[in-house]
Structure 1
Amino acid sequence: MQLGQPFKAFTRWLNQFELAKKPGTTDTATIAGGKKAKRAPRLKDSLVALQSRTRIAAEMEAWKRAEDRALHPTKPRRDMLMALYQQITKDNYLTGQMTTLKNKVLSEGYTVVDKTGKEYPDVLELFERPWFTDFLSRVLDTDFYGHTLINFDYPNEEGEFHRFDLIPRGQVVPEFGQVLLKPTDDVGVPFRGIDADYTKLLIEVRMFDEEGKDHIGILNKAAPEVIWKRYTRTDMSRRSEKFGMPLVSLKTSAVEESELSAREEALANMGANGWVVIDESEEIDVVESSNTDGSKIYTALSSMCNDEIAYLITGQTATSQETGSRAGGEVHERVQEHYIQARMRFISQYVNFTLWPFLKLWGYPLEGLHFKWRKWIDEAKAKETGDAPKPTNDPEKDTPPLRWSS
């Protein structure tokens, strides 16, 4: 893989940074603790987006092409796949499932503790900021989209991070650890394993599939379900247009073309507040469709697609749909809880082993401390006091959380 071209292009941009520097900026940035850090240009600021955004129709052939392009062995590109994801996430049911799962995780309380369990509210205050909640949301998105690369902005005057930008996923090549300065570039700028100033503001959320390759996100599995559901609704709309409204039938003995044309015009006028004049020997009938259950096949197919999406996102369907069994609903809630716990565990591990070291380099006082969900602390205390629920032999309750790769 030849890296000379992107390095030269990026070097030219670095040399032009002084000319492009915003008015009022300095060569150094304040970090936590009052220390100074060299202010270098961010990678996000060097990206050049296309004038027209990549667009793709939500169709099966387009999905197959996008998937093949993303999984290309020598030149993988995710621009088409990300454009498709943007289309399918307009589906209300899919978006609702994703949002519900994320909200359940993000609504959980958390704290900062040391090895003894002592809490540090003053340090926790550093993370009770909008950027941190948004950051956790982006981490959760990685499961859906497959990869996330975040470019922090420089700390504010107090030495704290306050915002970040998401590197467009369509311009990231996680398989090679590169970012395309332009979506049309053949080779990108490396961001992984490089000791450069621009990488000091980058943080990566990386996931792998069952084969150990870079994950392209579970939205790839949701895509055909959303597309099939759209096809179904289109077919249902066509059927409704053809057979949903009653058919007006006019029996007439007229044979002259002028008379027939007059009858056709009269029938066309039978809309809202319309009227028609017919001969006393003529008769108008309203013919209703004899097949009143024809739409059921479409609603069944649409529900089937929704069920597949629900199983993919939360592992069950009852929490988002009506269920006639309370016991069955409780089982589904426990299955969903396992999915939530798995994502909470992933966030906990990622924050402690990736975000924490990154922040410590920028002066955050996190030595010997770690992030922990308050729910887990409360459960541990309940076990110590004997207030924890007794273990059962219910396989749904005893199933361990899902295993994630990070």
Structure 2
Amino acid sequence: MKWELIPRRNVVPATNMVLFEASGDQGINFTDPMFARTIIYRYDMDPKGALNDIVPQLIWKRNAQQVWADFSERFGIPLVSAETSITDAKELKRIETMMRQLGRAAQAVLPEGAKITIHDAATKGDPHKVFLEQITITNNEIGKRIVGGTMLTDDGSSLSQSEVHERTLDEKIGESDRRMIEFTVNGKLIPILNTWGFGFKEGDRFVFDRSEDLTMAEHWDIVSDALTHYEIDAEWVSRRFNIPIVGKKETTSAASIIPTALSKNFR
């Protein structure tokens, strides 16, 4: 079977519609039983999902970037003004031409009495911090919503804290995603496959492997502790730890050793 993801731009979760054209109004209702054998859909009770939290942050981020770009275009090159007591229109026109050239050439020949002032607005008020701080905050908010923290994507100075963030991502957010996939596969995909003749047996289920990886030493400690309480297959122990076991070692109990030792000492 061939499966394809329906383009997100054509899906309208709020109305359960798949539009034939992204900007159109004609489509199909993907919850209709008619499409139960061909379409798998899954969404939270809130049809907006994570976008409801992310989109406002994206809007503020783009606003900050746009305003920062406008600021750079307007004040990135300092404003240059000239003052003069000359009133002759021809001389004023010549000074204006020189001032236009001054923005690129950074040099000009002006008549006596003309004063040039360079206004550097970019160094006042620390606009770099204003815009960058807003963009950084929105990135952090988006990162928290998606991966549950910021140290996996932005801040990575502390190993211990980043490991906590990693565990949060794997054990909480990752586990939630795994459960969602299991429910979708077992509740929707396998029944659809059965209707198309794939022949899954009753009780067949898809599950993720949640077994944990242990070091050989940690595993040996667990098995050693279990051996004091339970009988464990020697062949399995030999195969698991690559130990050639030829037989069971005979042990002498303390109850039989102590009387023998006492009798020797008092003979």
- TM-score when normalising by structure 2: 0.66
C-alpha distance in structure 2 between counterparts of 1:281 and 1:239, whole Å: 32
How far has the Cα of 1:190 moved from its partner?
5.5
C-alpha distance in structure 1 between counterparts of 2:70 and 2:30, whole Å: 50
Partner-residue secondary structure (3-state), 1:249:
strand
Checking the alignment, whether the CA contact within 8 Å between 1:352 and 1:370 is kept in structure 2 is yes
Equivalent pairs counted in the alignment come to 214
Runs of 4+ with deviation above 4 angstroms = 178-183, 188-191
What is aligned with 2:165?
A: 332
C-alpha distance in structure 1 between counterparts of 2:28 and 2:79, whole Å: 65
Partner-residue secondary structure (3-state), 2:25:
coil
Checking the alignment, whether the CA contact within 8 Å between 1:173 and 1:180 is kept in structure 2 is no
Within the candidate set 93, 110, 118, 1:278 is matched to 110
C-alpha distance in structure 1 between counterparts of 2:40 and 2:192, whole Å: 8
Which residue type is aligned with residue 373 of structure 1? F
- The question of 1:242 aligning with 2:79 is answered no
What is aligned with 2:59?
A: 227
Does the C-alpha gap of structure 1 residues 199 and 370 become closer, same or farther in structure 2, counting only changes over 3 Å? closer
- Report the RMSD for the aligned CA atoms in angstroms: 3.3
What is aligned with 1:343?
A: 177
Within the candidate set 139, 154, 158, 1:321 is matched to 154
What is aligned with 1:173?
A: 15
How far has the Cα of 1:254 moved from its partner?
1.6
- The question of 1:300 aligning with 2:133 is answered yes
Does the C-alpha gap of structure 1 residues 220 and 274 become closer, same or farther in structure 2, counting only changes over 3 Å? same
How far has the Cα of 1:324 moved from its partner?
3.3
Checking the alignment, whether the CA contact within 8 Å between 1:252 and 1:283 is kept in structure 2 is yes
Question: Residues 29-85 of structure 1: CA distance to partner in whole angstroms, max 9, x if unpaired?
Answer: xxxxxxxxxxxxxxxxxxxxxxxxxxxxxxxxxxxxxxxxxxxxxxxxxxxxxxxxx
C-alpha distance in structure 2 between counterparts of 1:353 and 1:382, whole Å: 33
Does the C-alpha gap of structure 1 residues 169 and 239 become closer, same or farther in structure 2, counting only changes over 3 Å? same
What is aligned with 2:2?
A: 162
Within the candidate set 348, 352, 357, 2:191 is matched to 357
How far has the Cα of 1:230 moved from its partner?
1.4
Checking the alignment, whether the CA contact within 8 Å between 1:310 and 1:317 is kept in structure 2 is yes
C-alpha distance in structure 2 between counterparts of 1:232 and 1:308, whole Å: 15
Partner-residue secondary structure (3-state), 1:200:
coil
C-alpha distance in structure 2 between counterparts of 1:345 and 1:310, whole Å: 22
Does the C-alpha gap of structure 1 residues 306 and 254 become closer, same or farther in structure 2, counting only changes over 3 Å? same
Which residue type is aligned with residue 2 of structure 2? H
Checking the alignment, whether the CA contact within 8 Å between 1:318 and 1:329 is kept in structure 2 is yes
How far has the Cα of 1:199 moved from its partner?
3.8
Which residue type is aligned with residue 37 of structure 2? K
Partner-residue secondary structure (3-state), 1:205:
coil
Structure 1: 5+ residue stretches without partners: 1-160, 210-214, 391-406
Which residue type is aligned with residue 310 of structure 1? G
How far has the Cα of 1:286 moved from its partner?
3.2
Does the C-alpha gap of structure 1 residues 283 and 180 become closer, same or farther in structure 2, counting only changes over 3 Å? closer
Checking the alignment, whether the CA contact within 8 Å between 2:58 and 2:138 is kept in structure 1 is yes
C-alpha distance in structure 1 between counterparts of 2:166 and 2:75, whole Å: 41
Which residue type is aligned with residue 180 of structure 2? F
Partner-residue secondary structure (3-state), 1:306:
helix
Which residue type is aligned with residue 240 of structure 1? S
What is aligned with 2:25?
A: 184
What is aligned with 1:373?
A: 208
C-alpha distance in structure 1 between counterparts of 2:20 and 2:157, whole Å: 54
Name the % identity. Answer: 27
Structure with larger Rg: 2
What is aligned with 2:261?
A: none
How far has the Cα of 1:266 moved from its partner?
0.9
Does the C-alpha gap of structure 1 residues 387 and 258 become closer, same or farther in structure 2, counting only changes over 3 Å? farther
Q: Which structure shows the higher strand fraction?
A: 1
Checking the alignment, whether the CA contact within 8 Å between 1:172 and 1:179 is kept in structure 2 is no
- The question of 1:267 aligning with 2:109 is answered no
Q: After superposition, where does 1:191-230 map in structure 2 within 5 Å?
A: 192=31, 194=33, 196=34, 198-209=35-46, 215-230=47-62
